[in-house]
Amino acid sequence: MVNITRKEAGNYLLKYQNLYNPRQLKSDKGIVDFIQKIGCIQYDPLNKVARNADLVLQSRCKNYSEAALYRLLYEKRELLDGWDKNMSIWSVRDWPYFTRKRNDHINRYKKRADEFISVRNEIIKKIKENRYISSKDVNGNRKVNWSWAPTDIGRAALESMYHCGELLIHHKEGTRKYYGLTEKLLPVSILNEPDPNKALDDFYEWYAKRRIGAIGLLWNKSGDAWLGSHLKKEERSQSIKKLLEKDEIVEVKIAGIDEIFYLPKKELKILENKEKHKEASVIAPLDNLIWDRKLVSKIFNFDYKWEVYTPVKERKYGYYVLPVIYNESFIGRCEPIIDRKNKGLIIQNWWWEKDININQDMRDALIRCFTDFARFLNVEKISISNTLSKDGLKWVEKCVS
């Protein structure tokens, strides 16, 4: 059992997530290695300021641009679009580990094989002729019942072939997905690699370890961090017990918190890392660090909810509000608005956390942070909304200078 304080736990999490000294990962390799470490990053198509996956990476990568993720997904194919924690992006090296999930989909869709056969044949024929297609290229001509709502049979057939592993996303244009044959997009060596998880219990164990690694420090409590793993509490408990027996994870007790946490043993060295940095970062709304909101509240005393799906009258802050970190703490949250016509970023709203001491080190860090943020967004200036008090935000004037 490792005993640490909340401050030590928060410091560890930020260092594990490459957020304590942010924007330091370099090159495509840095991105691929980071995603391999944490398993996956969540994809969401909403693009109010930038898409979640790009916001995750801009806070960790030096001079990051959206082109880097596109290149790794659709040109180099070192990453791929796949389901994990909802829609996600993960390393192509994990393809064999998801064999069981693909087989589950194959068994699920068997009873609809006759229904989809003619459309499926049309899809394969068109892809072989054109390399890729989207739902608009398939002549469905009728609706079928689907998981989320009745939809065109062409779209349903494409999705079923994708979930079964027959198709991959070849590329995207905006939110539109274009599909290609998996056998043409992935190396034979990966396609022929057997499932490393021989038994169902092995799969559960692998997934428990993957989820602990996704955050870096996790408890055995139901929550968003476990979404997509389909592990019930008993299965999680058994898997965690086995991982402890194999000495792959360690138990952690955080002072003042009743629950036991689990940490990848190979990451214990981070707790011994005493390096000091005074940097700031804007955090994505679905960042791995904040997957488990209750965990973040317990360790950082920071309560956050992404309110895009919350009715306007029930919102506490705003539609698209992003957390801001400085040093070892969440210091506030901001509501950024892109003025695309004038290539500007407007801070529509800003909320400081309680008892924040705004000193010069913090101002300097925020200037560096938002100058980099503006560069990522390809804007030339940052301004403060006329409806917002300038108190505590005068540092904005020095960004992008």
For the four alpha carbons of 27, 32, 37 and 42, in that order, the dihedral sign comes to positive
Strand partners, 253: 3, 260
pLDDT at site 140:
67
CATH 1.10.3470 fits 280-398, yes or no: no
Residue 97: band (very low, low, confident or very high) from pLDDT cuts 50, 70, 90: very high
**Residues 31-54 pLDDT 10s:** 999 999 999 999 999 999 999 999
Q: What is the mean pLDDT of the chain?
A: 94
**Residues 308-354 pLDDT 10s:** 999 999 999 999 999 999 999 999 999 999 998 899 999 999 999 99
**Residues 137-164 pLDDT 10s:** 887 677 777 776 777 888 889 999 999 9
**Residues 352-393 pLDDT 10s:** 999 999 999 999 999 999 999 999 999 999 999 988 888 889
pLDDT for residue 18 is more than 90: yes
Residues with Cβ within 8 Å of 249's Cβ and at least 6 positions away in sequence, in order, are: 209, 212, 240, 243, 262, 263, 264, 265
Rounded to a whole number of angstroms, the distance between the first and last alpha carbons of the chain is 49
pTM: 0.95
pLDDT at site 151:
79
What amino acid is encoded at 395 in this protein? W
For 230-269, letters b (16+ CB in 10 Å) and e give: ebeeebbebbbebbeeeebbbebebeeeeeebbbbeebee
Distance CA 271, CA 255 (A): 15
Q: Could you tell me if 281 and 19 are in contact, meaning their C-beta atoms sit under 8 angstroms apart? A: yes
Instruction: Tell me the domain boundaries of the chain.
Output: 96-185, 280-398
